[in-house]
Amino acid sequence: MITQEELLALLPTLETDSVEKTISLTNRDKFGEAICSFCNDLAGNRKPGYLIIGVHDDGKIAGISVDERFLQLLMDFRTDGRIVPPPAMTVKKFTFDEGDIAVVEVQPSHVPPVRFNGKVCVRVGPRKSIANEAEERILSEKRSSFVRSFDTLPCYGSDLEDLSVDIFKLSYLPTAIDRETLEANGREIKQQLSSLKFYDPKADMPTHAGILLFGKNPLFYLPGSYVQYVRFVGTDEVSDFDFEYRFHGDLTTQMRVMDDFIKSQIAKRVQVKLGEEYSSIYPASAIQELLYNAIIHRDYQSNAPIKFYEFSDRIEITNPGGLYGDARPENFPNKNDYRNPTLAEAAKNLGFINSFNVGVKRAIAALIKNGSPEPRFIVDQATSFGVIIYKKQ
């Protein structure tokens, strides 16, 4: 994070593609647009950008007061889903005799284009604008140069014909792009897909995320990309089972199917005693959050499926791929990282998750509110991650 001495040296300089100053404490759209533009780093500086709040254009401190509530408002841009994929940023308050300054330091994204409320915001010098067609192409090609997450890599052997373009246009585009941009969209399909990280322009083929979300047959390229549900009549896998189902196909459709299945077949409401209120054996929102967590975080290079097993006393969800990146057994669930950031972004746009980095915590809270036991997480395995959700007694 920038030091006080570095900040003082920065204040007298003019606004650039990496510095924006404002005295406003209320213009949240302006904050979001600035953070988004620094993430996109159209100029290719590969250095942090700074949103400096409490300073006039000439660098003079405005004399405002910054409290913890305002700092939290700024921090919320990291997780509330207005900016996708979520930005890497830090917020700090500096206090001077003339007044307070809040600084948001934003790191360039490894998976541009980044969007704020569906718009790709960029800066060229002091100019702020929505990216045009050429600028979006630059950002998409830049992503291909350094991104290494599996979901954004090209799916070799595939081509445009492997994708259901109708699902992309009708089901996904309206959720990811703001209406004004969508109505003016005259870009050809490959560029539309590439702008949203579903097509690699250099390799001229879909990415793994594109195949997973819109593929006509994802299993052909990613054999483990399905969810295996089994309902056992007993308490272990050697007991008989009375129902089995495989969720496979494009995730845009299948996540909706899973959502309906959980609500109708698992999260049943029962009346323990006559006259009492109905309650859930398993709260639907907890099962949904934990299953979506498995879909977003699993290792798709593994040929093993996600196991979604319901026993007589519990549900177990296990996915290939252990904790990833900065997430460790000792800091889970307070620390999170994304093995598949584009899938996480898509799940947010489609409405399957409400915000970033809080899904597990929301599931725990839902279970507690339902009067259910807290779940048990299996986080010490290098090649898998699991959760056990106990049945409400």
Query: 4-128 domain in CATH 1.10.10.200?
Result: no
| 63 Cβ contact partners less than 8 Å away, ≥ 6 residues apart | 98, 99
pLDDT of residue 119: 93
* Nearest CA among 382, 364, 374 for reference residue 322: 382
Please provide residue 198's backbone torsions phi and psi, each rounded to the nearest 5 degrees: -105, 0
Structure tokens at 312: 């007589």
State the amino acid at position 380 in one-letter form.
D
The dihedral built from the CA positions of residue 260, 261, 267 and 270, taken in this order, carries a sign that is: positive
CATH 3.30.450.20 for domain 227-390, yes or no, is no
Task: Write down the pLDDT at residue 138.
Answer: 87
CA-to-CA distance for 289 and 366, rounded, in angstroms?
10
User: Which helix (H) or strand (E) covers residue 291, if one does?
Assistant: helix 284-297
The token pair at 177 is 């792009």
What does the block give as tokens for 184?
A: 């003016």
Chain CA centroid to CA 122, Å: 21
CA–CA separation, 105 and 50 (whole Å): 5
* Adjacent-strand bridge partners of 198: none
- Give the separation between CA 337 and CA 323, rounded to whole angstroms: 8
Instruction: Parse the chain into domains and list their residue ranges.
Output: 4-128, 148-221, 227-390
The residues, ordered by sequence, that sit 6+ positions from 263 with a Cβ below 8 Å of its Cβ are 284
Tell me the pLDDT of the chain (393 aa) as tens digits.
999 999 999 999 988 889 999 999 999 999 999 999 999 999 888 899 999 999 999 999 999 999 999 999 999 999 888 999 889 999 999 999 999 999 999 999 988 899 999 999 999 888 889 998 889 888 888 776 666 789 999 999 999 999 999 999 999 999 998 888 777 777 899 999 999 999 998 899 999 999 999 999 999 999 999 999 999 999 999 999 999 999 999 999 999 999 999 999 998 666 555 556 667 889 999 999 999 999 999 999 999 999 999 999 999 999 999 888 778 888 888 887 888 999 999 999 999 988 787 889 999 999 999 889 999 999 988 899 999 999 987
Structure tokens at 16: 């650039």
Query: What residues does 154 pair with on adjacent strands?
Result: 207
Q: Yes or no: say if 66 and 17 are a contact pair by the CB < 8 Å rule.
A: no
- Across the beta sheet with 49-53, the strand order is 19-22, 49-53, 99-106, 89-96
**Which of these, 307, 291, 287, lies nearest to 364 by C-alpha position?**
287
Q: Which of 108, 193, 192, 170 is CA-nearest to residue 142?
A: 108
Per-residue model confidence (pLDDT) at position 73 = 95
Single-letter code of the amino acid located at 114: V
Alpha helices in 11-164 (DSSP H): 28-40, 68-75, 133-146
- How many residues are there in the chain? 393
DSSP H helical segments within 87-207, as ranges?
133-146, 165-167, 173-176, 179-183, 189-195
Type of residue numbered 341: P
d(CA 49, CA 128): 13
Partner residues linked to 98 by β-bridges? none
Q: 103 with 9: CB under 8 angstroms? A: no
Predicted TM-score of the model (pTM): 0.81
